Amino acid sequence: MASVNPINYGTPRRESDTQVTLEIDGRSVTVPAGTSVMRAAIESGIDVPKLCASDNVEPFGSCRLCLVEIEGKRGYPASCTTEVAEGMEVRTVSDKLNQLRRGVIELYLSDHPGASKVETGDVGDDELLRLARDLDVREVRYDKEGRNHQDAVIDDSNPYFDFDSSRCIVCSRCVRACDEVQGTFALTVDGRGFASMISAGTDSDDFLNSECVSCGACVQACPTEALVEKNVVEQGMPERSVTTTCAYCGVGCSFNAELKGDEVVRMVPAKEGKANHGHSCVKGRFAWGYTNHPDRITKPMVRDKITDPWREVSWDEAMSFAVERINGIRDKHGSTALGAITSSRCTNEETYLVQKMARAVFGTNNVDTCARVCHSPTGYGLNSTFGTSAGTQDFDSVEKSDVMLVIGANPTDAHPVFASQMKKRLREGARLIVVDPRAIDLVRSPHVAAEHHLQLQPGTNVALVNALAHTVLAEGLENRAFVEQRCDVEEYDAWREFILREENSPEHTAQYTGVPADALREAARLYATGGNAAIYYGLGVTEHSQGSTMVMGMANIAMATGNIGRPGVGVNPLRGQNNVQGSCDMGSFPHELPGYRHISDQGVRDIYEAEWGVKLDDEPGLRIPNMIDAATGGTFKALYVQGEDILQSDPNIKHIAAGLAAMECVIIQDIFLNETASYAHVFLPGSTFLEKDGTFTNAERRINRVRKIRTAPGGYADWEVTQMLAQALGYPMNYGHPSEIMDEIARTTPTFRGVSFDKIDALGSVQWPCNDEHPEGTPVMHVDNFVRGKGKFMLTPFVPTDERANRRFPLLLTTGRILSQYNVGAQTRRTANRLWHAEDWLELHPSDAEVRGIKDGTLVAVASRMGETTLRAKVSERMTPGVVYTTFHFPETAANVITTEYSDWATECPEYKVTAVEVRPCNTLSEWQRRYMDTRDQMQRIEGNQSVRAPDTVAASVEEASDDDWEPAE
Amino acid sequence: MDDEKMVRQANQIAQYFSAYPEDRAKEGVRGHIRKFWEPRMRTQLINYAGAGGEGLHPLVLWAATQLQDEAGQPV
Ligand code: SF4
Ligand code: SF4
Ligand code: FES
């Protein structure tokens, strides 16, 4: 597939210190050594016909279309597989070359259905037909009745793309894209010679049932529309494209949204995208259909009581309703009864406005964000040790890593594009240590295997990282020079004394972690001595009662081994949502203003007081769980929530529900009536990423542009809605465009001083800090000095969580995500991604299953001391005995009915990753689920509408399917 | 927040800082609560400590007294 925009250079870019100069068609061209003749030509503006070459995969040299003549060389070498040489003289055009190329085209056309289209010029997205047109091949002399693939059946099993083998020229671009770019190795070329066929390599031999993860790299690579997006088949070729940023995970892939009119036909990952280099996953490329879903709420709605049906009203009426309630509450209970929640799915500008609304308009620091429940410990831990709350590297840094230590993260599912980059580096020989209770895909996948999988018990991360540190110090593997030069040595000495205590030895910690001491020691040695070692971690680190301690523990070992401050190393949080980094940067936490500056700092408050024209409260505000507690305690009454669904995503749902029910004014701004909206009084329709301008900041601190393609069905982008509410409350907020909000951020925040929309547009993206010192941004942090000056080792005492398995609840439940679904699933559940994952299931080890009489597909009740829920079981060797696992993408599963209220000591990030449970076969939904099903429709009724949503998942599937005919999807 | 939860959360903070020598541990606990706990929560802690502070870690008890002095409330 050719995108509307980019040039395909035919072969990958090469890097070299040596430059080579050659002559192509009389033109002098200079390129790095190792570059192909094809790339050199195309870079200098000379097009070379090609079919089997593409610049994202290694050349293969099979189609023979790219032939050239080279002075002094016999024959007609393929330019894609020929490297440039100094002084080489190349001709890309001659009668002979033309004749040879036309012959090749003719042969391909003899077994291709589109030949007639060459005449009409309607060649669509088919490079073969385009070349036939350009080379003026009108006639096919070969016998079309001969051997051919023209009656092959189209494989339309994948919901997003078709495979029509009658158009396939077996150039293997798809196979190479799957291998080299995606790293899934799902495709093969079956058979030989003329009989050869691309195959997804399964018995049923269709894409859906194969190993394919639907990333679309093969579709993008295919030159002939043999692999083609269903949308292109249905809607025809797009006409223009707008570059924007994916709104799903923290990789933050850049996409060209390719459009017909204002309708998106397809999303094509942008080659220039510095986070993704032209690759994407199934979510970003294909799962954007939710933006047009009929469930979208397009009109503001209000209701007096949460038991009333919703009433659709004008924007004016919604605003007056909200203002009256907010003012009434403020008059009676003061500003501290008000609060707001910003969203990691909204843009930086929108997030900034919501916290500004809380602080400047509501007059309170009661503002928080969903990062509370995911990466708040990253903030605390990295800030304490390094001095700032962000990952240290850019993604490309991994290309220089020799060792990767992946802790509590599952990149192939949660950060797929970065996982592909990791896998590529691993295939090149980097070595891998995985720390996870579950055998995630990275532990063993095609051509990638972890050298060490430390399969620890949930809740014992800190014991494990202490044992790693102990081994490093006890075996003298630390980098003393780095520590002395870069770190606070007194703190280091205290840490060293602490870590070397016997209680932190691998032999001692094994009783908690379950990881054998020798395996742990081997892993520590590899990390400390294997070359550039980089740590990547996820929510398996943060969502623990010791999340912050663990983040500090990882920072400690990185400093102790000198693995910080250059490409290839570092400590890197893999952020869950697209803008978690940004929402934290923008001052979403109740104790700090934008740029992580504490609210008690008068100097910082001065800046904002001058800018906003109000006096700011100098006390920290309430965090989300505190708001809920204060609500049940009667002192917190009104909440403005932008783009979050705390009722589904936060722990201990029953308590959250009670808190929300106790409030007098809950304002939800979202694209769907989410679960939290069941408890709301005002609903303001929000906008998707296609409907607004702004920026997202990804996990590598990269600020990427989001560009508006069309107007939201409700009429306003989210920042405009916030502004409208602020104005209605009497505050002068008058931005004409999000760029003006970014200008204010830059004016007031030192790390953003150099950021502007113009700069991002010019550079493509920038990584903060971006200021006078780093005018083009900062790919790698802490290069010469830590942000805080000297790196600070922090003590990391292991304190086992209070949540322990016991006789009644003998198993430990941990939670996570899956590739095809995203978080609370509000978006992905409303796309064909349901085909892969239509419900949450409980994964457990065969031995745990057997003693309980549980088989694949058995309905099971999972009970903790907090509550109970019912879902289906999936028996899996990936689990370690005693540990069970589930995702939380479906509200009906209500996984958070069972999670506890335990949380990280420093940040109150909930301990999702450890809940003691018992599991038993059962045949009904839990009481909570039944009640929830009964009341949800009631609480979400809209006057005059039947129902705003289709009944889905567990409830429906329990009725439809018997236990026997259920099969777990992969 | 119910008292039990408050006690647990305050004690968790103390458990962390108790790895440090006493003076630093005390200041760590006080500073953390001062920096991150909203005034209502601090008041609840001060009142609870004042009423005997059952179950509170000694470092938290100390911090509560300091916070109380700072808030200028009668001991
Ligand atoms: S969609 Fe991705 S994973 Fe599937 S076959 Fe194509 S390249 Fe491979
Ligand atoms: S979900 Fe993440 S990896 Fe997938 S396309 Fe979006 S940003 Fe990229
Ligand atoms: S493009 Fe070079 S051989 Fe196909």
The pLDDT score that the predictor gives to residue A820 is 59
Report the C-alpha gap between A408 and A911 in whole angstroms.
13
Assign residue A59 the CATH number of its domain.
Answer: 3.10.20.740
The pLDDT score that the predictor gives to residue A880 is 86
Task: Tell me the ipTM for this assembly.
Answer: 0.93
Centre a 10 Å sphere on the Cβ of residue A53 and count the other Cβ atoms it contains: 32
SS (HEC) of A170-189: CCCHHHHHHHHHHCCCCCEE
Mutate to test the pocket of ligand 2, among A243, A244, A249 (most ligand atoms within 8 A of CB): A249
Q: What is the pLDDT of residues A616-647, one digit of tens each?
A: 999 999 999 999 999 999 999 999 999 988 88
Q: Which residue from A minimizes the CA distance to B9?
A: A905
Cβ neighbors of A461 (< 8 A, separation 6 or more) are A407, A408, A435, A540, A541, A544, A546, A550, A553
Ligand with smallest separation from the Cα of A283: 2
Task: Tell me how many domains chain A contains.
Answer: 5
Ligand with smallest separation from the Cα of A49: 3
User: Ligand 3 within 6 A of A77 CB?
Assistant: no
Q: Are A393 and A533 in a shared domain?
A: yes
Structural tokens at position A73: 């060389």
Q: In a 3-state reduction of DSSP, which class is residue A74?
A: coil
Q: CB distance A630–B39 less than 8 Å?
A: no
A910 backbone dihedrals φ, ψ, rounded to 5°: -65, 150
| Residue owning the nearest CA to atom 2 of ligand 2 | A249
Q: Are A184 and A307 in a shared domain?
A: no
Q: Which amino acid is at A753?
A: R
Q: What is the pLDDT of residues A169-221, one digit of tens each?
A: 889 999 999 999 999 998 888 776 666 777 776 656 788 888 888 999 999 99
Whether A874 contacts A968, CB under 8 Å: yes
Assign residue A363 the CATH number of its domain.
Answer: 3.40.50.740
- Of A573, A601, A617, which closes a domain? A573
Give the pLDDT band of residue A968 (cuts 50, 70, 90). very low
Q: CB distance B38–A906 less than 8 Å?
A: no
- Residue whose tokens read 């996409």: A255
Q: What is the pLDDT of residues A863-875, one digit of tens each?
A: 988 888 888 999 9
Q: Are A569 and A654 in a shared domain?
A: no
Residue A606, domain member (yes or no): yes
Q: Are A220 and A277 in a shared domain?
A: yes
A9, A243, A544, A813 from A456: Cα distances, Å: 46, 43, 14, 13
Give the pLDDT band of residue A455 (cuts 50, 70, 90). very high
Residue A871, domain member (yes or no): yes
Q: In a 3-state reduction of DSSP, which class is residue A758?
A: helix
CA distance B20 to chain A (A): 7
Whether A290 contacts A830, CB under 8 Å: yes
Phi-psi region of A528 (alpha: psi -120 to 50; beta: other; left: phi over 0): alpha
CA distance B16 to chain A (A): 6
Ligand with smallest separation from the Cα of A420: 2
Q: In a 3-state reduction of DSSP, which class is residue A153?
A: coil
CA distance B22 to chain A (A): 14
A-B contacts (CB, under 8 Å): 58
Residue A11, domain member (yes or no): no
Centre a 10 Å sphere on the Cβ of residue A847 and count the other Cβ atoms it contains: 13
Q: Are A348 and A492 in a shared domain?
A: no
Structural tokens at position A213: 């993860």
Residue A953, domain member (yes or no): no
CA distance B38 to chain A (A): 5
User: Ligand 3 within 6 A of A895 CB?
Assistant: no
Among A569, A556, A390, residue whose Cα is nearest residue A483: A556
Residue A473, domain member (yes or no): yes
Q: Are A50 and A109 in a shared domain?
A: yes
The pLDDT score that the predictor gives to residue A614 is 96
Q: CB distance A498–B19 less than 8 Å?
A: yes
Among A536, A576, A584, A650, residue whose Cα is nearest residue A822: A576
Whether A505 contacts A798, CB under 8 Å: no
Q: CB distance A905–B12 less than 8 Å?
A: yes
Q: Are A103 and A199 in a shared domain?
A: no
Q: In a 3-state reduction of DSSP, which class is residue A276?
A: coil
Cβ neighbors of A660 (< 8 A, separation 6 or more) are A628, A631, A639, A646, A647, A666, A676, A679, A680
Quick one: average pLDDT of A428-447?
A: 92
- Of A135, A167, A183, which closes a domain? A135
Interface test with A, best of B6, B12, B42 (most A CBs within 10 A): B12
Q: CB distance B40–A797 less than 8 Å?
A: no
How many A from CA of A704 to the centre of ligand 1? 26
Q: CB distance B40–A336 less than 8 Å?
A: yes
Give the pLDDT band of residue A946 (cuts 50, 70, 90). very low
- What range defines the domain where residue A479 resides? 376-573
Residues of chain A with pLDDT > 90: what percent? 60
Lowest mean pLDDT among A260-269, A814-823, A874-883, B2-11: A814-823
Q: Are A585 and A561 in a shared domain?
A: no
Cβ neighbors of A62 (< 8 A, separation 6 or more) are A52, A170, A171, A172
Strand order in the sheet with A665-670: A311-312, A301-302, A682-685, A665-670, A638-642, A338-342, A367-369
- Residue whose tokens read 């069309």: A710
Q: In a 3-state reduction of DSSP, which class is residue B58?
A: helix
Q: In terms of residues, how long is chain B?
A: 75
How wide is the angle at C-alpha A678 spanned by C-alphas A542 and A631, nearest 5°? 65
Q: Which residue has the higher pLDDT, A910 or B65?
A: B65
Structural tokens at position A867: 């509550």
Cβ neighbors of A850 (< 8 A, separation 6 or more) are none
The mean predicted confidence, pLDDT, of chain A is 88
A282 alpha-carbon distance from chain centroid: 11
Q: What is the pLDDT of residues A289-321, one digit of tens each?
A: 888 888 889 999 999 999 899 999 999 999 999
| Residue owning the nearest CA to atom 5 of ligand 1 | A212
Assign residue A537 the CATH number of its domain.
Answer: 3.40.228.10
How many A from CA of A38 to the centre of ligand 3? 9
The pLDDT score that the predictor gives to residue A933 is 75
Report the C-alpha gap between A574 and A536 in whole angstroms.
7
Report the C-alpha gap between A545 and A187 in whole angstroms.
43
**H or E segment at A703?**
strand A702-706
Q: Are A405 and A456 in a shared domain?
A: yes
Is residue A432's pLDDT more than 70? yes
Q: Are A448 and A502 in a shared domain?
A: yes
The pLDDT score that the predictor gives to residue A227 is 93
DSSP H stretches of helix in A200-267: 217-221, 230-235
| Residue owning the nearest CA to atom 2 of ligand 1 | A215
Is residue A3's pLDDT more than 60? no
Q: Which residue from A minimizes the CA distance to B10?
A: A905
Structural tokens at position A28: 């002098």
Q: Provide, as residue numbers in chain A, all residues whose Cβ is less than 8 Å from the Cβ of B40.
A: 336, 622, 630, 635
Q: Provide, as residue numbers in chain B, all residues whose Cβ is less than 8 Å from the Cβ of A551.
A: none
Q: Are A415 and A536 in a shared domain?
A: yes
Residue A546, domain member (yes or no): yes
Report the C-alpha gap between A614 and A330 in whole angstroms.
17
Q: CB distance A619–B39 less than 8 Å?
A: yes
Q: What is the pLDDT of residues A770-809, one digit of tens each?
A: 998 899 989 988 988 888 889 999 999 998 877 888 889 9
Report the C-alpha gap between A784 and A566 in whole angstroms.
9
Residue A381, domain member (yes or no): yes
Closest to B12 (Cβ–Cβ): which among A498, A545, A626?
A: A545
Give the pLDDT band of residue A122 (cuts 50, 70, 90). confident
Report the C-alpha gap between A636 and A663 in whole angstroms.
7
A679 alpha-carbon distance from chain centroid: 29
Whether A580 contacts A588, CB under 8 Å: no
Is residue A822's pLDDT more than 60? no
Burial A910-925 (b: 16+ CB within 10 A, else e): bbbbbbbbbbeeeeeb
Q: Are A164 and A214 in a shared domain?
A: yes
Residue A758, domain member (yes or no): no
| Residue owning the nearest CA to atom 3 of ligand 3 | A61
Q: CB distance A799–B2 less than 8 Å?
A: no
